[in-house]
């Protein structure tokens, strides 16, 4: 992990890799993130930067690798998946978050975009299945409940990386 992290830095900075932050632009050059539709959210969620710029310390990078590893538990993976999907960072998945999630998963192209009616029906179905307290949002425990009933979540590694 350290070798991978330090290789993102210019040669002259590699010996100080433990004490520097790597800019988001360099993190996004990793092959695993380059084509990931959640690449910006991944940097946002795992970065501890006070300026919220998506840069990562070595510890941030290790956290990211740990969550996406095969040995991470479903509980840990689902916790971070929830954070990735909570686009407005308000602690709940609302209709806007779900719409953004669907758009990320289906692509932003005109040919793959759902119609308004299709999007509304899909969001309604998701909420009917997941929103146990019927407040119009999915909270972390409701998300965890849905994930616990989904064998595909654990099998595919959980998070969308």
Q: Is there a single domain that holds both residue 83 and residue 61? A: no
Range of the domain at 45: 1-69
d(CA 23, CA 147): 32
Question: Above 70 in pLDDT, residue 108?
Answer: no
Of 14-23, 104-113, 118-127, 140-149, least confident by mean pLDDT is: 104-113
Q: Which of 43, 69, 95 is the last residue of a domain?
A: 69
Of 30, 46, 69, the domain-final residue: 69
Residues 25 and 3 both lie in one domain:
yes
Question: Length of the chain in residues, anyone?
Answer: 161
Contact yes or no for 161/84 (Cβ under 8 A): no
User: What's the confidence (pLDDT) of residue 112?
Assistant: 75
The pLDDT confidence band at residue 154, using thresholds 50, 70 and 90, is low
Residue that finishes a domain, picked among 34, 69, 104:
69
Q: Express each pLDDT in 27-84 by its tens digit.
A: 999 999 999 999 999 999 999 999 999 999 999 999 999 999 999 999 999 999 999 9
Let me know whether 80 and 6 are in one domain: no
Find how far residue 3's CA is from the centre of its chain.
Answer: 24
The answer to whether residues 147 and 61 touch, using CB atoms and an 8 Å cutoff, is: no
């Amino acid at each position: 992990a350290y070798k991978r992290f330090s290789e993102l830095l210019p040669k002259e900075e590699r010996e100080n890799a433990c004490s520097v932050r790597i800019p988001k632009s360099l993190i996004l050059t990793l092959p695993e993130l380059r084509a990931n539709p959640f690449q910006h959210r991944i940097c946002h969620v795992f970065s501890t930067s006070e300026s919220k710029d998506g840069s990562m310390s070595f510890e941030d990078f290790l956290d990211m690798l740990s969550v996406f590893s095969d040995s991470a538990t479903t509980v840990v993976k689902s916790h971070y998946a929830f954070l990735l999907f909570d686009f407005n960072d308000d602690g709940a998945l609302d209709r806007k978050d779900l719409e953004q999630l669907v758009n990320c998963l289906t692509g932003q192209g005109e040919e793959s975009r759902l119609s308004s009616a299709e999007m509304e029906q899909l969001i309604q179905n998701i909420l009917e299945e997941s929103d146990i307290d019927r407040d119009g949002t999915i909270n972390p425990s409701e998300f965890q409940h849905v994930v616990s009933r989904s064998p595909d979540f654990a099998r595919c590694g959980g998070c969308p990386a």
